[in-house]
Amino acid sequence: MTTSDSSPTPIRVRMAPSPTGFFHVGSARTALFNYLFARHAQQTLGGGTFVLRVEDTDTQRNEAQFEQVIYDAMAWLGLKPMKAR
């Protein structure tokens, strides 16, 4: 990916789960693919970031225990965000 001046644009991918229920296999798949793509971009393109952004838009259904489940599942999978928000 390049900009008009031909300098490479860093790759930035994210995982944005909502803490409204348990972490499931679809979330794990998305996290894994995005993490691996960002890591590949770091090694081959000189820039790649995997961002974990826990959604906070559904305040009525969000629960703190499920936010912790997200962090625990990511740690269990061995996926560390390169940037968390």
- The pTM of the full predicted model, rounded to 2 decimals, is 0.78
Topology of 25-84 in CATH?
Rossmann fold (3.40.50)
CA distance 37 to 11: 9
Q: Give the integer Cα–Cα distance in Å for 29 and 25.
A: 6
22 within 8 A of 69, measured Cβ to Cβ: yes
The domain limits of the chain are 25-84
Give residue-wise pLDDT tens across range 3-53: 556 667 788 999 998 999 899 999 999 999 999 999 999 888 888 999 998
* E strands, 1-85, in order: 11-15, 48-52, 83-84
